Structure formats: structure tokens, C-alpha cells
Structure 1
Amino acid sequence: MEKLDIVLYPDEGLREICAPVEQMNDRISNLIDEMFLTMYDAPGIGLAAPQVAVQERLLVVDVSETNDEPIALINPEIIQAKGEIVWEEGCLSLPGIYAKVKRPSDILVRGLDRDGKPIELEASDLLAVCIQHEIDHLDGKLFIDHLSGLKRNRALQKYRKLAQQPE
């Protein structure tokens, strides 16, 4: 198992709509393990397959403080959303950029778990925000797309400036 490279904005793969995972197999199982390893190492609380250059509908999240509540969702879809929450979001594909985003506060998501079994998961607050953020990636969207044009432009100017700085 190895850590994967995280795709950075403006890579075109981040704007592609991902294909459904057709079947659970060792490749998908290994990908899930490597995505968790990569996410924890980054460190982050969510990672979608296109962020590691895989154009399939798969995401991993863990919003726990101790990295012991991993959730993998395959072919996730939000089937119910309600409420409203504003959360400051960041993204491993846009390091150093943070902005407040308004999203539904409570969601019901359906998909497959890491064993390929159907799952329905109720999520609220940070977990709901994280899952929605990662599902956006599967649809070729970034959190900056939820910002006004002015705020998005400012965020991207800051990102470009940060990207030019030597490591």
C-alpha cells in the first residue's frame, strides 16, 4: 500500500464528471486503502477519487479527531437534504485556500460501502459538509464554485500566489 499523489488545481481531471464504479474488486479495495492513507497523511478529512487521478465515483471521509471513524462511499448520491449551515472549507487540491460555503446541514446519502454492500447514511454538520464537498468532486465541482465571482477570484489569486512560492 502506498500514498498517492494528490491532483492540484487547475488539473483538468478535477472538472470531469466521474463514472460509476461498476464492480467491487481488489483494485477498488486497494484504492480505498491508499486513499485513506493519503488523506490521513495530507492531513485531511475527505478525499475523492478524482483528487488522486481516478475518474470513478468513490470517496473516503473521516471527520473524527482521532482518525478512527473511516467511511468509504462508492457511487454515493444524496437522496435527501435539509437545513442550512455555513462552514469554512478547504481542499487538498487547493492547499492554503479556505472560504465559507453554505450547504444543507443534514443529508441522507445512499451508496455502497467498502464491501460493495448498499448503505444509507444520515449525516449532519461537519460530516454532511465533508460528504457534500467530496460528492461535488465526483461531479467535477470544487468548493470555490459555491463562492461569488469576486470571492472565487480572490481565492484563486491567493492560490496562484501561494503556488509560486518555493517549498
Structure 2
Amino acid sequence: MAIGPILKYPHPGLSTLCQPVTVFDAELAALADDLLETMRAAPGVGMTAAHVGVFTRLVVLELPKEQGPRFYANPEILSSSQQTIIYTEGSVSMPGATEEVERPRQVRFRYQDLDGGFHEEDADGFYSICMQHEIDQLDGIFWLRRLSRLKRDRLVKKWEKAK
């Protein structure tokens, strides 16, 4: 296992559409372990392979209520609730910058585990927010794009000044 360098905003890789995982092998498991170690060192609660410059659809989440880390290959949202929730988000690629983002409160999503098995789950609240945030990243949508132009410009200026 190794801690990898994290792409920092505004790196163009953070706007890259990630390709599906097609091979479920020891190399994928090693990437998952590296992602987990890198995420913990950042620190963060979620991370995608894109954050370390590997543009494949792999996510790791380690949420307080969950039992240990969980890995998701090729996650996709199947449905989302009309009810929304506002939560303060940030990114390991933009340390220290946070802002409130509004997203659906609940989602149903499908993913594959590291062995290639298919699963479907419902996520609510913080879990839902995290999953949507990471799937956005896999789709090349950095979280800042969920903000109004005014909030985004203000946050970027503040973050650049703090660097």
C-alpha cells in the first residue's frame, strides 16, 4: 500500500470522465488499498481513483456509521428523491475549502464490489451526499460546479489566497 499524490484544483484531470472498471483483479484491489490509505492521510471520508490521476470508476468511502471502508466500482445512481438536503461539502483536491451544496436527500444506486459482483443500495442523508459527490467526480463534475457562479468565484478566490 502507498499514499499517492492527490490532484489539486484546478487540475484538468478533475474534469475527466472516468472509464468503467472492466477487470476485477489484484491490480484493482491494490488500487483500492492505495486509495484508502491516501484518503485517510488527506484526511477525507471519500475519494475516487480520479483524485490520484487514475481515471477509472472506483470509489472508497469510510463513513462514521459504517463498519470500515467500502469500495464501489462503477457506481451509478438509479433514482433520487424529490426531497433535498443541504450539506457542507469539500474535496481532498481542494483542502480547506468548503461550501453548502443542495442535493437529493435519498438515492438508490447500483455498483460492483472488488470481485465484480453487482449490488443495489439505498442511501440517505450524509451517505447519499457522499455517494452523489463521488459519482459526480467520476463523471468529471468537480463539486464546485454544484455551486452558483457567485459562490464558486468567491470560494476559488478565497482558496487561492489561502494557498
Q: Which TM-score band (shorter chain)?
A: over 0.9
Deviation of residue 69 (structure 1)?
2.7
Query: Any idea what the Cα deviations from partners look like across 1:92-136, whole Å, max 9, x if unmatched?
Result: 001111000000111111010122111112111111101110111
Deviation of residue 71 (structure 1)?
1.4
Report % sequence identity: 37
Mapped partners of 1:123, 1:71: distance in 2: 13
1:6 aligns with 2:6: yes
Name 2:29's counterpart in structure 1.
29
Mapped partners of 1:27, 1:5: distance in 2: 18
Name 2:45's counterpart in structure 1.
45
Mapped partners of 2:45, 2:25: distance in 1: 25
Name 1:16's counterpart in structure 2.
16
Matches within 5 A, 1:119-134: 119-134=119-134
Deviation of residue 80 (structure 1)?
1.1
The answer to whether the 8 A contact 2:25-2:115 is kept is no
Q: Structure 1 runs of 4+ off > 6 angstroms?
A: none
> Secondary structure, in 3 states, of the residue corresponding to 2:31?
helix
Q: Give the alignment's TM-score, normalised by structure 2.
A: 0.95
Name 2:103's counterpart in structure 1.
103
**Alignment size in residue pairs:** 162
> Secondary structure, in 3 states, of the residue corresponding to 2:108?
strand
Name 1:162's counterpart in structure 2.
162
Mapped partners of 2:77, 2:52: distance in 1: 22
Residue segments in structure 2 that go unaligned for 5+ positions in a row: none
> Secondary structure, in 3 states, of the residue corresponding to 1:4?
coil
Mapped partners of 1:28, 1:162: distance in 2: 36
The answer to whether the 8 A contact 2:87-2:101 is kept is yes
Name 1:117's counterpart in structure 2.
117
Name 1:143's counterpart in structure 2.
143
Q: Give the alignment's TM-score, normalised by structure 1.
A: 0.93
> Secondary structure, in 3 states, of the residue corresponding to 1:9?
coil
Deviation of residue 153 (structure 1)?
0.1
> Secondary structure, in 3 states, of the residue corresponding to 1:87?
strand
Mapped partners of 1:5, 1:115: distance in 2: 26
Supply the RMSD in Å over aligned alpha carbons.
1.2
Deviation of residue 29 (structure 1)?
0.7
